[in-house]
Amino acid sequence: MCLAVPAKLIQHDGQQGIVDLHGNRLPVNTMMTPDAQSGDWILIHAGFAIERLNPEEARETWALIEEVERATCNSADQNDTQQHNTTAQPARGGIS
């Protein structure tokens, strides 16, 4: 329940923003991080940005995390024509 994940703020308008979590985009409320700017990494929890992450401090940790991801995610995307149809729009779910 205290799960908070780092995400990149890609749009920001007043107290509403959109973050990107490695290809997953979702809305967040930024009232607790009024100094966050587009391009910042923020910590999101229950629909709110709860802190702006300090990239200098995080660099080392993230380098390790990204390195693991590079090793396990196996640079698949360019070879994989079946899985990623880039023209498809994300579905909204439900009966359309």
Please, which residues have CB within 8 angstroms of residue 76's CB and are 6 or more apart in sequence? Answer: 83
Q: Does 26 bind another protein (CB under 8 A)?
A: yes
Distance CA 79, CA 27 (A): 31
Q: Which tokens belong to 39? A: 């391009």
The pairing of beta strand 16-20 with beta strand 5-13: antiparallel
Q: Of 30-59, which residues contact another protein (CB under 8 A)?
A: 31-34, 43, 45-48, 50-51, 53-58
Q: Does 87 bind another protein (CB under 8 A)?
A: no
Q: Does 64 bind another protein (CB under 8 A)?
A: yes
Q: Does 8 bind another protein (CB under 8 A)?
A: no
Task: Count how many residues are written for the chain.
Answer: 96
Size of the site for another protein (CB under 8 A): 58
Q: Does 21 bind another protein (CB under 8 A)?
A: yes
* 47 φψ region: left (φ > 0), alpha (ψ -120 to 50), beta (else): left
Name which position in 13, 14, 71, 87 contacts another protein (CB under 8 A): 71
Q: How far is the CB of 39 from another protein (least distance, A)?
A: 16
